[in-house]
Amino acid sequence: EVELVESGGGLVQPGWSLRLSCTASGFIFGDYAVSWFRQAPGRGLEWVGFIRTKPYGGTTEYAASVRGRFNILRDDSRSITYLQMNSLRTDDTGTYYCSRAPTYRKRSLEYLSHFDHWGQGTLVTVSS
């Protein structure tokens, strides 16, 4: 059974750093891209960023709101993806989800198709 489990959330002060983990099981982790999303309390869903598979360099893409502050890494040997969050702001508060995405190749580039399995989420609260 496919499963993704986020961990590492908590209460931090503005300007602090936090690292979230997403541990996967039930599938060949290295075959999938992994994305992070977040949801502020009472609000809609927001895409945060994703990391490609290693054959395509394991490169990353980020939303403008987090670019330069957040970094996504993957450890395929342990089936874990990390979201390193630096210089946290109060508007980063929310529940953070990881999700896997099947990918496809087009003109030597890797594209994501859709997000078919999600973790249960971990809450991050940034407050003084």
Return the amino acid letter for 11: L
63 binds another protein (CB under 8 A): yes
d(CA 76, CA 98): 15
d(CA 125, CA 114): 28
d(CA 86, CA 73): 14
| Residue 41 vs 77, nearer CB to another protein | 41
| Residue 3 vs 75, nearer CB to another protein | 3
**Is residue 21 a contact partner of residue 7, using CB atoms and an 8 Å limit?**
yes
Return the amino acid letter for 33: A
22 binds another protein (CB under 8 A): no
Q: Which secondary-structure segment (H or E) carries 75?
A: strand 70-75
By three-state DSSP, how is residue 67 classified?
coil
| Residue 44 vs 68, nearer CB to another protein | 44
Taking CB under 8 A as the binding criterion, the range among 22-30, 44-52, 72-80, 83-91 that sits at the site for another protein is 44-52
d(CA 81, CA 91): 23
64 binds another protein (CB under 8 A): yes
Among the listed residues 11, 40, 45, 109, the single contact to another protein using CB under 8 A: 45
Q: How many residues bind another protein (CB under 8 A)?
A: 21
Binding to another protein, residues 80-119 (CB under 8 A): 97, 101, 111-119
Binding site for another protein (CB under 8 A): 35, 44-47, 61, 63-64, 97, 101, 111-121
